[in-house]
Amino acid sequence: MPDDLTAAWPQIKLALAGTLPSRVPRSESTYNTLLSMMQQEAMVPWVLVHEEKPHAILVTTKQIDGPSGSCCLFVYTFYAFEPLPLRVIADGYLKLSNYARSIGCHAVTMETSKPEVLELIRRVSPESDVETRLVTMPLASAEETGNGW
């Protein structure tokens, strides 16, 4: 994987630059950390291929909920070079599900605010909870909030 990762890093970095979660700073330090995590296999890059052509890159990581000990495969980023046929997305979801199961996870999760991504998720996995939102709040200071809470 390290040789493949090195060769693919420019495309992966491009995908990351466009799709990092909003709470993550876009900096060389961030990209270096992400590359290191992929080299250590703490994060896994995936390429969705259709008709022998790459159509999307996604990066996943295993997340464990501390209190419950439950595990999810978190789609950290998803970047499509062009619209994907639903069949390709469904096949990719099946592969991710099988991988998640193999590492002890019970679900695939992701963060998005894009209506078109939410609609694709509804179509590929109708039982998915697409209504719950992760809210990112910048840290406040007492000056900004008056007297705090």
- Per-residue CA distances from 78 to 33, 39, 109 (Å): 18, 19, 12
pTM of the model: 0.81
- Token pair, residue 111, equals 């963060």
Q: Are 69 and 83 in contact (CB under 8 A)?
A: no
Give residue 95's pLDDT: 93
From first to last of its 149 residues, what are the pLDDT tens digits of the chain?
456 788 888 888 888 888 888 788 889 999 999 999 999 999 999 988 888 888 888 999 999 989 999 999 999 988 888 888 888 888 889 999 999 999 999 999 888 878 888 888 888 888 888 777 777 777 787 666 555 55
Give the count of beta carbons closer than 10 Å to the beta carbon of residue 142. 9
Q: Report angle CA 119, 124, 126 to the nearest 5 degrees.
A: 75
